[in-house]
Amino acid sequence: MEMTAAIQPSDRDYADATVLQQLLQAHGIVVKCVLRSKMTNLFQGQEGAAGFLTDQGSFDTLFLPKPGNWDGLEVVQTEKNGHYLTSFKGQPSPWPANLMDGLQPQYFVKHANMLCITWDEHLSQSLDRILSRD
C-alpha cells in the first residue's frame, strides 16, 4: 500500500472511504486508519483512492463516482521470471502506462464503485464476502 497521509473530510473520496470503513467495522474488521493512496487517478474518471490499514492486513480502494462501477474492467495478471505483471483492459480506461509489477500476486475485489486491491489472498476473500452482502 502506498500511503501519503490520513484522509481528510475535504478529500473528494472521503465519503466513500467512510462508508467502506463503517461496513468493514460492522462485519468485525478493525480499521486502524484510512489514508490517502497514491493510486489516485489510475483510471479515467476515477474519483480517488484510499488506503486501509486493518487488523487483517492492508489494502487500497479505488473509487469511481456513483453510480459508476468496475464491471467492465478486466484484470490481466501473468507471472514472468518471479514477477507478477498486472495490466487492465476495458472500462474505465486505465492510465497510459497500464502495468503493475510486483514480487507477489495482487488480488482485486470489485463492488459497485469500489475496486479493492490487496496482496493478501485471505483478506481479499474477506472483502469479497463482506462486499457481496452489501
| Contact criterion met (CB below 8 Å) for 64 and 46 | yes
Predicted structure pTM score: 0.91
- Give pLDDT tens digits for 85-98: 999 999 999 987 78
Report the pLDDT value the prediction gives residue 134, as an integer from 0 to 100.
Answer: 64
Report the pLDDT value the prediction gives residue 2, as an integer from 0 to 100.
Answer: 46
Distance (Å) of CA 9 to CA 17, 69, 77? 10, 23, 35
- Give pLDDT tens digits for 13-22: 999 999 999 9
- For the chain, the average pLDDT equals 92
| CA dist., res. 130 & res. 29, Å (int) | 10
Report the pLDDT value the prediction gives residue 36, as an integer from 0 to 100.
Answer: 92
In degrees rounded to 5, what are phi and psi of residue 127?
-60, -45
**5 has pLDDT over 90:** no
**79 has pLDDT over 60:** yes
Amino acid at 24: L
Looking at residue 92, the DSSP 8-state letter turns out to be S
Q: Where are the domains of the chain?
A: 3-67+108-133
| CA dist., res. 57 & res. 65, Å (int) | 26
| CA dist., res. 67 & res. 11, Å (int) | 19
Report the pLDDT value the prediction gives residue 41, as an integer from 0 to 100.
Answer: 85
